[in-house]
Amino acid sequence: MDGKKVVVVGAGPVGSLAALYAASRGATVEVYELRDDLRNLETSPLNFTKSINLALSERGINALRSTGNDELVETVFQNTIPMHGRMIHTRSATGALTEQSQLYDVHGRYQRSVDRGVLNGVLLNYLDALPNVKIFFQHKLTGADFRKKEAWFEVMDRTDGSSSTRPKEIAVTFDFLIGADGAHSSTRFHLMKFARVNYQQEYIDCLWCEFTMPPTRSGDFAISPNHLHIWPAASFMFIALPSTDKSFVCTLFGPVDMFVKLESAPDAELVSFFDKHFPGVTSQLAPNDLIAQFKQHPHLPLINIKCSPHHFGDSVVILGDAANAMVPFYGQGMNAGMESVRVLFSKLDATPDRAQALANYTEERTKDAHVVADLALGNYTEMRSSVTSPLYKLRKYIEER
């Protein structure tokens, strides 16, 4: 890649990591990001900086390590909290609150909870420090010709000093374009005009809403910090992941009908719904906060996308959610996207013919990515329901002996 111009579309976790990989191989890298710089929290509209805690697992960590930059990996780790297992919250037959810890690994390996925005910010900081990388925020990919190797971006032009914003379009040429622009990828849309892409998209019958559970009055974690907490309720669930400020980022997942009912129910009904199904939550997340957060925070859909191929010629490849967005129940969307970066560059390193390397990548990665996406769908049933079944507990008991 030495001396080649690589354009990365999307500066999310996957695009930022891909830019680091390309830069470390001597490419001149330009990253184009639709939104403002997420590190400037005050200047970005709230809905664009909405951050979620993610489970960072071995797939993602391995991809970070493969940058060869140990300091970067350490910086990421400093912003994470180990989660050694799941904590299942239920009520016993007598109505008492019960907590059951289910370790992830008999050998003590664990996942880490990380704020998506913080992880993304660390990657952007490392990109900023590289002389061969330029990042352009507020640049939206609007078109591309993958034969001519030219792409068009809409730029919010503020150079005239007026408060009104007026978009202008710029053309950018490249040797190789990496599309990491998320589930609603514009790169994928344009790729489909050049390659015969098979495409499958499904909205599952589930919405999600985020809540924050604050630290206790004494400033401590409200519940065990080293677990991913689950309140399973058969067809829906509530989960909580720890944050470094000792709060928890929690998520309510449930069918669309359930959300519709809760949205129109009186406030007290939301609280009693939580008390009935998610025991102990309202003693840590005060009812007024719970109601306010449910009303203020968006209720968002979950999408599953599969497509193939992921590339065209030697010109373009799509990665991360752009190539296969998956439901979050296996905690692998970002991890798998980062792994795709590692696999892509291993193919590019192994084969000087980039078109062949991209074909090899699509061939191997499509199958693997689809399997992870299917596992993620299956894990929804596991998390909201199977974790409480006696058979499951028996299996875990035997495994741990």
In the complex with ligand FAD, the residue whose CB is nearer, 85 or 182, is 182
The one among 182, 232, 279, 280 contacting ligand FAD by CB under 6 A: 182
Q: Which of residues 32-51 bind ligand FAD (CB under 6 A)?
A: 32-35
Q: How would you write 103-157 as a 3-class SS string?
A: ECCCCCCCEEEEEHHHHHHHHHHHHHCCCCEEEECCEEEEEEECCCCEEEEEEEE
Q: Is 207 in the site for ligand FAD (CB under 6 A)?
A: no
CB 338 to ligand FAD: min, Å: 8
Q: Is 180 in the site for ligand FAD (CB under 6 A)?
A: yes
Q: Which are the contacts of 256, defined by CB distance < 8 A and separation ≥ 6?
A: 205, 206, 207
- Both tokens assigned to 367: 């199958």
CB 180 to ligand FAD: min, Å: 5
Q: Is 237 in the site for ligand FAD (CB under 6 A)?
A: no
CB 173 to ligand FAD: min, Å: 17
Q: Is 307 in the site for ligand FAD (CB under 6 A)?
A: no
Q: Per residue in 63-101, is it b (16+ CB within 10 Å) or e — as a string?
A: bbebbeeeebbebbeebbbebbbbbbbbbeeeeeeeeee
Pairing mode of beta strands 97-103, 150-157: unpaired
In the complex with ligand FAD, the residue whose CB is nearer, 91 or 189, is 189
Q: Is 172 in the site for ligand FAD (CB under 6 A)?
A: no
CB 35 to ligand FAD: min, Å: 4
CB 130 to ligand FAD: min, Å: 19
Residue showing tokens 């741990």: 400
The helix or strand, by DSSP H or E, that contains position 167, with its residue range, turns out to be strand 166-173
Q: Is 55 in the site for ligand FAD (CB under 6 A)?
A: yes
Which residues contribute to the site for ligand FAD (CB under 6 A)?
Answer: 9-15, 32-35, 52, 54-55, 116, 140-141, 180-182, 186, 208, 251, 320-322, 328, 331-335, 337
